[in-house]
Structure 1
Amino acid sequence: MLPSKGFQPLILAVVVALSLATVALAQDGEPLLVQDGQPLLVEDAEPTLAGALAERLSEQEGALHDFYAARDWRSAWQDPVTLADFAAALHTLAADGLNPQDYRPDALVAAHRQVRAEASTLDDRARFDLQASRVLLTVLRHLQRGKVDPYRIDTGWEVPIEPLPLDLAAISRAVDAHRFEEAFAAARPSALPYQRLRAGLAHYRHIERQGGWPMLPPRPQPLRPGDLHEDVPLLRERLAIIGELEVMVADLFEGVVARATDPRLYDDRMVAAVKRFQQRHLLEVDGIVGPQTREALNLPVSARIDQIRVNLERARWLLHGLPDSFVLVDIAGYRISYFRPDGEVWRSRIVVGRPYRRTPSLRSRITHLTLNPTWTVPPTILREDVLPKVRHDLGYLSQQDLMVLGPSGQRLDPRRVNWQRPGNVILRQRAGPQNALGRVVLRFPNEHLVYLHDTPAQGLFTREQRAFSSGCIRVQGVLELAQLLFDDTDTPAHVATLVSEGKTRNISLERTVPVILHYWTVHSGEDGRLIFRPDIYQRDAALKDALDRPLAP
């Protein structure tokens, strides 16, 4: 155990050294306060590197202290080969979307060369050892929980980041064996989505090294199936580069396409490839190369690389310590997944908040469900959406089945309210088939007052991009999800029966279920290929800037 700060540094060095071994050698070959098999007295003690580290570590806290404690206070970076291999390993962090130069591998090698010089002091060598260890621990922290603090770039962030503790003894052994990738792997998320993002980053960087892909000229008219157009050969090349036209590329090499058809023909196979592209980019899947599809096709490969990098960072924020069973809301992907206790996954489509009423990122627990809910119009929606319509036509209230209530809940006559200055009136929609919340609401504590719910507007689920709500999440097939939650938490309730009764009631789950709302603009499909989503809330740019910002020296 490291002596307390009240001990004099030399006494601390002696105690640390004596705790190592009866006859031991420091990593650099210096004897550790042992002479003729007997420990030296304090007044006869020679300064050692372990002692110098111990003196400095006496005022250190946290992971750095624990790392050296796991090493029995031995230095880690005096061997030139160890340091050189570590510097080389730092360059591989580009595969995780991090910038290796943040960790200054070349400066680390130069500093090590300097402290190995004859003129360097024991204190210089101890200082360098701690410096290199700080770099290692910074890398591990960035791989485990991300380089960027999400609270600094998103004021609405509500997802606590709680990385699992690292096995510093295992990290220490990896350092001694020069197995730095093993140390890095212990820190980075092991979840399959993270591994697929890394693989996708490598793939798109390969495309970039090959020169990227061609750009289609801007056109006022869309390209439609059956058209003959000079853009088609460029489009064919563009789709072949990302793997949507493997068969047609082979045909091209054999000259089949050139002999059989006009290469300018936008034929069925090309249309099918465009539809696959549209599906992977969350565009309307119609096979028409209109403005949105052309814009997605013309986004340079460097932009896709940046998009993957920022989502690797988001994955580092989230993909640690996930529970075995939880509900995951993929905001930008308009998808919800319920990972059930039995290993099965229930998935469905969702509608999320419009860009000016964003669905927040948060982590909470589903506590109870409301069946046949009423809906009290939230203040923002009342002020910005409902009141202008009521002022225009008082009949809007009856059309939407909205009751007007006073601050204490008493019923008011709408004709007696000054709608230019309505004061603290409350508008509440009765339960029923046209209620904005539908027939069931899944509730979880959060500061934004958002929840998962049903909706009468089922037609919106057919759209590919579904940012239409005021922040809450509308779920397709939510009654099925509600019943699964009841079943999996041993809550004795039958959704269909209770809904048919028409009574508004809250039912608490016997066990709460974790729920995570998160924002991804790149995700891997079930086939492992990447799906790119529009950045509906314009969050990627701020994260990329923060990710690219150099670390302070």
Structure 2
Amino acid sequence: MKSFLPILFCFFIYFGCGNITNSEIALAEKSIKKLEVVIGDWKTKKNRKQLIEAIKESILEGLTPSDYSYSKLIAFEEKYNDLSELEIETYEKQLSASFIKYISHLSNGKIKPREIYTDWDIKKNKIDADSLLTYAIEKKEVEDVIKNCKPKHTIYSQLKTALIAISSMPKEDFKPIITSEKFNLGSKSKTVILIKKRLQYWNDLSKKDTLSEFYDESFGNAIKQFQQRHGLEADGVIGKGTIQALNVTQEQRRRQIIANLERWRWFPRDLGINHIVVNIPNFNLHAVQGKDTTKIFKVVVGTEKRRTPVLSSKIDNIVFNPTWTVPPTILKEDLIPGTIKNRKYITNRNITIYDKKGKEIPIGNWRSSLADDYKYVQSPGENNALGYVKINFPNNHSVYLHDTNHRELFVKNMRSLSSGCVRVENPLKLAEYLLYNKEGYDATKIDSIVFFKKTKTVKMEEEIDVHILYFTAWYEDGTMQFRNDIYNYDPELFLRLTNQFRSNLVTPVRVVNK
């Protein structure tokens, strides 16, 4: 049994994130026959039935049974007692191939994220498919092995519940609501009736509610609930953003859930006992101890043009009163053009210029022809772009968490406004939280450091993981939560998952401008 597995493992894990082709199967079969080995105990009906049933239910994971040769397996199984020895051998090879491919997809997703996104920096989850196949067959625990390969995150399990719920909803045939009006309490319009029907469909408004043209209190409460579920300002005012969310169809939301299930298969299985999670589309940071979220902070993330990367790392150090070295993109698009127009652009921002040797260059000697060769460093202080604190963690994208000198941005509901790094509201509170176990770094000490405006780096002693993730749908307290897909990741991912992707439909590669 074990002798054939390493070969089959090599072939099918390599091709594990795509469809297994006939030529690939034939190549594996040739290698197996060459070694004159026998594929072992798929002759146990329980093993075969458990695998076939699991593949059938892969649709509940947002996956496609046909990717794992479901129809072929059913056809073999239905005539199993009449199969020839050669046909049984072929069937068993297909069972092994389907098993390995399915657990690979459950463990790391069907799609390889780095083939789509250049700014996705999360390591693959480890999986020993060879050993798992051996164990599953010999112990007759195929079902349990497959179950254990699925993500254990609560959000993943709840998303599966949401997929069942949304798939069971009646098909809707709503036409898009087109209006330039705004509606609030006391408004009267035929459009209000259309909106009420939409809210009833999504269970935000009671089916018993009268479908009148009046915007009354119960309708206002339903709108606020709908707005909250979609990450909108829950003020009851129906404007452009609320209308756009109302016009998203049930099928589009179903696809969004499927795309998010795939992303959760990419994410780390173990987020760490103590960790922080930034959900980019939701513009917030959760600080987690054990299994409890202890603090939530608003954040500002990268624009569509300057996207915040998805990554996992560990916090290394915290810098109080940091300097800021202007990065290439901002240098090219902002600082150089601004300085060409007015030399005060640099001096007003308390920026010092250095040449390649580290020698300071007076603003009067600055030359636009040499602008790219200079280094531009902003001194610590209230107007520093990084504010009073920067939280560092190793990554390949030169991003970090930090304060900002534009704190007014946190008032906005949609906060995709930065150049890629993550700006945190109340970052000194976050720093205090992260350093809670480091003696002498309470709120008073931190305030004192900030007051004297001297740069100070504090090394972390407590191991705290940081995860910058991207999910636009989840299920919470029995309600579906959706967020705006600010980087337009969902549609392409769904097409790839369902084998419908064509490169002329959606840009296949995400290019990140630093």
TM-score normalized with structure 1 length: 0.78
- Give the deviation of 1:216 after TM superposition: 4.5
Residue pair 1:163, 1:320 contacting (<8 A) in 2 also: no
Q: Structure 1 residue 486: deviation in Å?
A: 1.3
The structure-2 alpha-carbon separation of the partners of 1:507 and 1:230, relative to structure 1 and needing over 3 Å to count, comes to same
Give the structure 2 partner of residue 335 of structure 1: 284
Residue-by-residue CA offset, 1:365-415 (whole Å, 9 max, x unaligned): 111111101111112111111111111222222222222222222222212
Change (3 A) 1:74 1:413: closer
Residue 485 of structure 1 deviates from its aligned partner by 1.4
How far is the alpha carbon of 1:303 from its aligned partner? 0.4
- 1:343-354 counterparts in 2 under 5 A? 343=292, 345-354=294-303
In the alignment, the residues of structure 2 paired with residue 390 and residue 492 of structure 1 have an alpha-carbon distance, to the nearest angstrom, of: 40
Q: Which residue of 1 aligns with 2:152?
A: 190
Structure 2: distance between partners of 1:88 and 1:202: 17
Residue correspondence of structure 1 range 50-199 to structure 2 within 5 A: 56=32, 74-77=40-43, 79=45, 83=48, 86-113=51-78, 116-117=81-82, 120-121=84-85, 123-163=86-126, 171-172=136-137, 176=140, 180=143, 182-199=144-161
The 5 Å alignment of 1:371-382 reads 371-382=320-331
- 2:10 is matched with none
Structure 1, gaps ≥5 residues long: 6-52
Partners of 1:459 and 1:375 in 2: CA distance: 20
Matches of residues 122-521 of structure 1 in structure 2 within 5 Å?
123-163=86-126, 171-172=136-137, 176=140, 180=143, 182-207=144-169, 210-212=170-172, 214-246=174-206, 249-250=207-208, 252=209, 257=210, 263-340=212-289, 343=292, 345-419=294-368, 421-488=370-437, 494-521=445-472
2:4–2:32 CA contact under 8 A, matched in 1: no
Q: Cα–Cα, structure 1 residues 297 and 406, in superposed 2: closer, same or farther, change >3 Å?
A: same
CA distance in 2 between counterparts of 1:517 and 1:114 reads: 50
Pair 345,377 (structure 1): closer, same or farther in 2 beyond 3 Å: same
The corresponding residue for 2:26 is none
Determine the C-alpha separation between the residues in 1 that align with 2:263 and 2:33. 33
Distance 1:423 1:164 in 2: 46
- Hey, what does 2:491 align to over in structure 1? 541
Q: 2-side partners of 1:329 and 1:462: how far apart?
A: 18
Verify the 8 A CA contact 1:351 1:474 in the aligned structure 2: yes
Give the Cα separation in 1 of the matches to 2:299 and 2:238.
26
SS in structure 2 of the partner of residue 284 of structure 1: coil
The one-letter code sitting in structure 1 at the alignment partner of 2:157 is Q
The alignment partner of 1:218 has SS state of coil
Give the Cα separation in 1 of the matches to 2:87 and 2:258: 37
Partner SS for 1:370: strand
TM score, norm. by length of structure 2: 0.84
- The root-mean-square deviation of aligned C-alpha atoms, in Å, is 2.9
- SS, match of residue 400 in structure 1: coil
In structure 2, what is the Cα distance between the partners aligned to 1:268 and 1:97?
Answer: 38
| Separation in 1, partners of 2:457, 2:34 | 56
Superposed CA offset, 1:51-85 (max 9, x none):
xx9x949969xxxx9xx9xxxx7422464x76456
Alpha-carbon distance between aligned partners in 2 of 1:242 and 1:319, rounded to the nearest angstrom: 32
The structure whose Rg is larger is 1
Q: Does 1:532 align with 2:482?
A: yes
What is the deviation of 1:165?
A: 5.4
Q: How far, CA to CA, are the matches of 2:303 and 2:377 in structure 1?
A: 22
Q: Give CA-to-partner distance per residue, 1:317-356, whole Å, 9 cap, x none.
A: 1151221111211111111112125955221110001111
Alpha-carbon deviations, 1:454-496, whole Å to 9, x = none?
Answer: 1121111121110111000001121111112112366857322
C-alpha distance in structure 1 between counterparts of 2:341 and 2:470, whole Å? 37
Q: What residue identity is the alignment partner of 1:135?
A: S
Structure 1 residue identity aligned to 2:452:
E
Q: CA deviation at 1:497?
A: 2.4
Query: Match of 1:142, SS?
Result: helix
Contact kept in structure 2, 1:283 and 1:292, CA below 8 Å: yes
Distance 1:94 1:421, change over 3 A: same
Q: Which whole-Å CA distance do the structure 1 matches of 2:177 and 2:371 have between them?
A: 54
- The residue that corresponds to 1:36 in the other structure is none
CA shift, 1:196, in A, is 1.0
Q: What's the offset of the Cα at 1:550?
A: 7.8
Task: Output the CA distance in 2 between the equivalents of 1:541 and 1:357.
Answer: 20
CA distance in 2: counterparts of 1:331 and 1:491, whole angstroms: 33
2:113/2:120 contact within 8 Å kept: yes
Residues 494-515 of structure 1, C-alpha deviation per residue, up to 9 Å, x if partnerless? 3222222221121111244221
Write the distance in 2 (CA, Å) between the matches of 1:58 and 1:480.
Answer: 65
Using the TM superposition, give the Cα deviation of residue 521 of structure 1 relative to its aligned residue in structure 2, in angstroms. Answer: 1.4
1:9 is aligned to none
8 A contact 1:338–1:346 mirrored in 2: yes
Q: CA deviation at 1:102?
A: 1.6
Asked if the contact 2:124–2:266 (Cα under 8 Å) also holds between the matched residues in 1, the reply is yes
Q: Secondary structure at the match of 1:422?
A: helix
Contact kept? 2:318, 2:458, Cα under 8 Å: yes
* Structure-2 separation of matches of 1:237 and 1:183: 45
Aligned: 1:522 with 2:484: no
CA distance in 2, matches of 1:522, 1:4: 42
Q: What is the percent sequence identity of the aligned residues? A: 28
Alignment CA distance shift 1:522-1:295 (3 Å): same
3-state SS, counterpart of residue 488 of structure 1 = coil
Q: Are the counterparts in 1 of residues 121 and 312 from structure 2 also a CA contact under 8 Å? A: yes
**Greater relative contact order structure (CA < 8 Å, 6+ sep):** 2
- Tell me if structure 1 keeps the 8 A contact 2:63–2:497: yes
Give, in whole Å, the separation in 2 of the partners of 1:357 and 1:126. 53
* Paired residue type of 1:239: L
Residues 306 and 420 of structure 2 are in contact (CA less than 8 Å); yes or no, is this contact kept in structure 1?
yes
Inter-partner Cα distance in structure 2 for 1:410 and 1:474: 31
Amino acid at match of 2:196: R
- TM superposition shift of 1:545: 2.0
Q: SS state of the match for residue 338, structure 2? A: helix
What are structure 2's unaligned runs of at least 5 residues? 6-28, 502-514
- Which stretch of the first structure deviates more once superposed, 468-477 or 276-285? 276-285
Q: Distance in 2 between matches of 1:238 and 1:421?
A: 59
Q: Secondary structure at the match of 1:362?
A: strand
* C-alpha distance in structure 2 between counterparts of 1:193 and 1:280, whole Å: 15
